[in-house]
Amino acid sequence: NNDKSLGENMDYKIIGIDPGAGIMKATEKAIADYELSEWKLIEGSSAAMTAELKRAYDKKEPIIVTGWSPHWKFSKYDLKYLEDPKGSFGEKENIHTITKVNLEAEHPSAFKLLEQFSWTEDSMNEVMMEIINGGEPEKVATEWINQNGELVSRWKEGIRKVDNDKLILGYVAWDTEIASTNVIAAVLSDIGYDVTLKQVEAGPMWAGIADGSLDAHVAGWLPLTHADYYEKFEGEFIDLGANLEGTKIGLVVPEYVEIDSIDDLK
């Protein structure tokens, strides 16, 4: 097996996630940019990708996954991003809060809270770790907001409580968004909203905001990862700006895989 190339050992597979994720489009772009025509991007889900990563990692087998930060996988395993000299995956970006056009008129308290919501990679990591270690997301989020009262009270500054008004948040089952959506939902519940979380794919998440069937999401990776959705629905949503700064997407391998750059896959 030593005389096989790295690509042959991995069956020329890059382990992807759900097809609507922006990172899937960026990976297809990388395959074209770096002329990696023998490589295939495998569709799946965020959970299937991390399961596959764990399986390979435990056996020290080579593997390449679509990866992003913040993410708990970097705390559990020794991993590295492959360098991307052609810039297929863009630069560092931010996660934006996106609402439907009428949210401010219909639910001013929710709108203001969403506008004031911003946190750090470290905080998001705390929540993600608790969840991946077996915590039930809603419970983890409630405990986290109780333990971070000072920050949460800044988000709630100047906001009037409501009486059971209904609100629907969309999210995709990416670990980052499971964490952030449950945290903001816990704070919305705390100010009196009756919040429903709707798990959808990325396309329907953006479309749901545009057609008003969803009130908001906190999952807009911009400017690059969700650029297509942003352009497609421009004018049909409100962009409240970054709730978390300095995210990254790319191709990720365990440290023991002896390549450093996407160029090395050719």
Residues that bind ligand PBE (CB under 6 A): 17, 21-23, 68, 174, 176, 202, 221, 225, 249
On whether the CB atoms of residues 178 and 131 are closer than 8 A, the answer is: yes
| Closest to ligand PBE by CB, 23 or 187 | 23
For residue 238, the minimal CB distance to ligand PBE (Å) is: 19
CA distance 60 to 65: 14
Taking the least distance from each CB to ligand PBE, the nearer of 22 and 254 is 22
Question: Alpha-carbon Rg of the chain, whole angstroms?
Answer: 19
Nearer to ligand PBE (CB atom), residue 109 or residue 247: 247
- Smallest gap, in angstroms, from Cβ of residue 49 to ligand PBE? 9
Retrieve residue 167's tokens. 């609100």
SS3 73: helix
Distance CA 169, CA 185 (A): 8
Neighbours of 121 (CB within 10 A): 17
CB of 247 to ligand PBE, least distance (A): 7
Q: From the CB of 145, what's the least distance to ligand PBE, in Å?
A: 22
Closest to ligand PBE by CB, 69 vs 99, is 69
Among residues 159 and 224, whose Cβ is nearest to ligand PBE?
224
Give the SS3 label for residue 254.
strand
Query: Which residue in 58, 18, 64 sits closest to 172, CA to CA?
Result: 18
Separation of alpha carbons 156 and 202, rounded Å: 28
Least Å distance, CB 80 to ligand PBE, is 17
